[in-house]
Amino acid sequence: MTDDGELTNKLMHPSNVVEKTYIATVEGTPNKTELDMLRVGIKVGKEKFSPAKVKVLKRFESDSILEIKIHEGKNHEVKIMCEKIGHPVKKLKRIKIGNLELGDLRIGNYRRLEEDEVKCLKELMKC
């Protein structure tokens, strides 16, 4: 929820290089080759997805938890990339945009950003 649509649009637009960090629960566990595909970038049809920073946080019997960092933020980018390497996303949560972290904020709750957080985001976007 925001009252600054211009800043939000700049933060979320794929053309801006703002790192977004996600925690994804995926089916199975990607092997090194599959993780490297994400790290170098993936082409799906005519769409090219930029390289992602990715690491496996936990492995379970039937799925795993990945940390994925991207800078484009195209629509459903993480889901499409994981599907392409054969590990569909079961659960996805964005935990960080730039230096702004979600922290322990619960679903349905919100908090006001501190002035320095807004200033940092605006400087990042050159607003």
Each residue's pLDDT tens digit, 42-72: 998 899 999 999 999 999 999 999 999 998 8
Alpha-helix runs per DSSP H in the chain:
5-12, 32-40, 77-84, 115-125
Please, where in the chain does CATH 3.30.70.1560 lie?
19-97
Q: Across the chain, how many H-helices and E-strands are there?
A: 4, 7
Which residues in the chain come in under a pLDDT of 50? none
Host H or E run for residue 21: strand 20-27
pLDDT at 66: 98
- Tell me the pTM: 0.83
User: What is d(CA 67, CA 94) in angstroms, rounded to the nearest whole number?
Assistant: 10
pLDDT at 101: 86
CA 84, 87, 93, 96 torsion: positive or negative? negative
The CATH code of domain 19-97 reads 3.30.70.1560
CB within 8 Å of 63: residues ≥ 6 apart: 25, 26, 27, 28, 29, 90
